[in-house]
Structure 1
Amino acid sequence: MNKEKVTRFYADLDSSAALAAQYFAPDASFRFCNLSPIVGRENIASFLQGFFDTISGTVHSVENHDVTEGGSTLVELRVTFVRKDDTTLEGPGAVIFEENEDGIRDYRVYGDYSTL
């Protein structure tokens, strides 16, 4: 995925779980840190909405982006989470994902957000 599309994806993710879910293939796999993978676009949308319901918002800033020869997209992020009490947690994160003609098919998030 080129950098422009990656940047658009994270802007959409910051604004709406439903918008972000549209980037995923119908049978996609989504793994958030140490949680079990969520499979299927509808389940991913539900997971994202449930997660976003626990906070006030997120801001993802792409710090680095690369596409491997095998086609995997690697993204280094700075993520700011806004809690319900308006305090923030900011930290680094990394994402690796693969796409096919239907969209993102495998998406893996790496970071420590345990204090969120």
Structure 2
Amino acid sequence: MSPPAIPSREEIHQWLLDFHSTSAALDAENYVDKFFTPTATIHFGNLPPVSGRENILAMFTQTFAALDSMEHEVVHFDIVPGTGRVYQAADITYVVKGDPKREVFTVRGLAVCDWPEEAEGEGGVMRAQRMQIFLDPSAVFARMGEVAAARAGAGV
């Protein structure tokens, strides 16, 4: 099996921008179907990998439901020549849904994305087969827990 043809740097950059703007809409189904193969695997840090469309969709549905907003700013990215692999650093800004303080959390992350040989989905959009994401969202998740506990204590 030969490595996939790699798009130009400009095409990869545009894909990253589209990938992040689609995730910012917090529509898990559209995001997963547009940007991941049906057999994709996502691996967040030391958590167990999540594989397959339904499991990935469930993960993003749960996460997106707890967010009011999520924005990514691409800091830089590198393409590994002769492979379908891109490394990307980004600053991700989160606001937790229902947070009366509307506290903004910015987390630096690094993602490694692999595309299979035939990675195009509907409309010719490249879809990831494997993604490894390295970040520490603990402050965001802690705030999600605080907001949920406050809502539960208020009977909401």
List per-residue Cα deviations over 1:62-110 (Å, max 9, x = no partner). 1111210233111110000101212111021010010122321101110
Please give the alpha-carbon distance, in whole angstroms, between the structure 1 residues aligned to 2:45 and 2:64.
Answer: 16
Which aligned runs of 4 or more in structure 1 are off by greater than 4 angstroms? Answer: none
Given that 1:17 and 1:48 are in contact with CA atoms closer than 8 Å, whether structure 2 keeps it comes out as yes
Greater gyration radius: 2
Aligned counterparts, 1:3-82, within 5 A: 3-15=13-25, 16-22=27-33, 23-69=35-81, 70-82=83-95
Please give the alpha-carbon distance, in whole angstroms, between the structure 2 residues aligned to 1:41 and 1:63.
Answer: 28
| Alignment correspondent of 2:130 | 106
Q: Structure 1-normalised TM-score?
A: 0.92
| Alignment correspondent of 1:90 | 106
Unaligned 5+ segments in structure 1 are: none
Q: Residue type of the partner of 1:43?
A: N
Q: Residue type of the partner of 1:105?
A: Q
Deviation at 1:36, TM superposition (A): 0.8
Please give the alpha-carbon distance, in whole angstroms, between the structure 1 residues aligned to 2:45 and 2:139.
Answer: 13
Looking at secondary structure, tell me which structure has more strand per residue. 1
Looking at secondary structure, tell me which structure has more helix per residue. 2
Please give the alpha-carbon distance, in whole angstroms, between the structure 2 residues aligned to 1:19 and 1:62.
Answer: 21
Please give the alpha-carbon distance, in whole angstroms, between the structure 1 residues aligned to 2:68 and 2:44.
Answer: 18
| Alignment correspondent of 2:148 | none
Number of aligned pairs?
A: 116
What percent of counterpart residues are identical?
A: 23
Please give the alpha-carbon distance, in whole angstroms, between the structure 1 residues aligned to 2:31 and 2:45.
Answer: 18
Please give the alpha-carbon distance, in whole angstroms, between the structure 2 residues aligned to 1:42 and 1:58.
Answer: 22
